[in-house]
Amino acid sequence: MKKEIGIFSLIKRIAFNLMIIFILVYLLFPFYWAVNSSLKTESQLFMTPATAVPRDPVTLEFSPTLQNYAAVFQDGQFLRGLANSTIVATSTTTLALVAGSFAAFALGKLRFRGRKPALYLILAMTMFPQVTVLTGLYAVITALGLSARISMIFSYMIFTLPFTTWVLTAFFKELPDALMESAQVDGATPFQTFRRILLPLTAPALVTTGLLAFIAAWNEYLFALTFTSIDPAARTVPVAIAYFTGAVARQEPFGEIMAAASLVTIPLVVLVLVFQRRIVAGLTAGAVKG
Partner 1 sequence: MAGKNDLGSTNNWKAPKKMGISDLARREERLAFRLLLPALLIILLIAFYPLAQVFYTSFTDRVFASGEETNFIGFENYRQLLSVHVMELEPVLDEATGQQLVDPDSGEKVFERPLDVLPREPNRYRELNQFDLLGKRYVIGATDPNFIEAVQNTLVFTAISVFIELILGLAIALVVNSKFKFRGAMRAAMLVPWAVITVVSARMWEWMLAPSRIGMFNALFDRLGLIDSPIAFLASGGYQLSALIAVDVWKTTPFMALLILAGLQIMPEDIFEAAEIDGAGKIRQFFMITLPLLKPAIAVALIFRTLDALRVFDIFQVMLGQSTYSMASYNYFQLIGNRNMGLASAIGVIIFILIFVFAVSYIRMLGVDEE
Q: Which helix (H) or strand (E) holds 168?
A: helix 157-174
Which residues, in sequence order, are bridge partners of residue 55?
Answer: 62
- With a CB cutoff of 8 Å and minimum separation 6, the contacts of 154 are 141, 146
Please choose, from the candidates 102, 101, 103, 100, the residue with its C-alpha nearest in 3D space to the C-alpha of residue 114: 103
Contact 136, 130 (CB under 8 A): no
Restricting to residues 177-206, name those near partner 1 by CB under 8 A.
Answer: 190-191, 201-202, 204-205
Q: Which of 18, 125, 233, 247 binds partner 1 (CB under 8 A)?
A: 125
Distance from C-alpha of 266 to C-alpha of 280, rounded to nearest angstrom: 23
- CA–chain centroid gap for 24, Å, is 19
Nearer CB in complex with partner 1: 154/234: 154
Tell me: does residue 174 bind partner 1 (CB under 8 A).
Answer: yes
Q: Contact 247/253 with Cβ under 8 angstroms?
A: yes
Spell out, one character per residue from 75 to 104, where the chain touches partner 1: x when CB under 8 A holds, - when not.
--------------------x--xxx-xx-
For partner 1, the binding residue among 41, 65, 91, 219 (CB under 8 A) is 219
Which whole-number Å values give the CA distances from 204 to 64, 180, 208, 238, 282, in the listed order?
41, 19, 6, 29, 6
Say if CB 229 and CB 77 are below 8 A apart.
no
Sole binder of partner 1 in the list 50, 53, 66, 230 (CB under 8 A): 50
Q: Binding to partner 1 by residue 130, rule CB under 8 A? A: yes
Q: How far is the CB of 13 from partner 1 (least distance, A)?
A: 9
Give the x-and-dash track for 105-124 against partner 1 (CB under 8 A): xxx--xxxx-xx-xx-xxxx
Q: How many residues bind partner 1 (CB under 8 A)?
A: 113
133 versus 197: smaller Cβ distance to partner 1: 133
Site for partner 1 in 271-290 (CB under 8 A): 272-273, 276-277, 279-280, 282-284, 287-290
Tell me the CA distances in angstroms from 219 to 54, 152, 162, 254, one per residue in order.
28, 12, 18, 18
Stretch that binds partner 1, among 3-11, 53-61, 86-94, 259-267 (CB under 8 A): 259-267
Is there binding between residue 21 and partner 1 (CB under 8 A)?
A: no
Task: Answer for the pair 164, 209: CB distance below 8 angstroms, yes or no.
Answer: yes
Query: Cβ 19 to partner 1, closest distance in Å?
Result: 6
Please identify, among the stretches 4-12, 28-36, 65-73, 227-235, the one whose residues bind partner 1 according to the rule CB under 8 A: 28-36
Question: 3-state class of 55 per DSSP?
Answer: strand
Instruction: Tell me if 44 contacts partner 1 by CB under 8 A.
Output: no
Q: Which one, 148 or 167, has the nearer CB to partner 1?
A: 167
Task: Mark the segment that binds partner 1 (CB under 8 A) among 4-12, 55-63, 64-72, 138-146.
Answer: 138-146
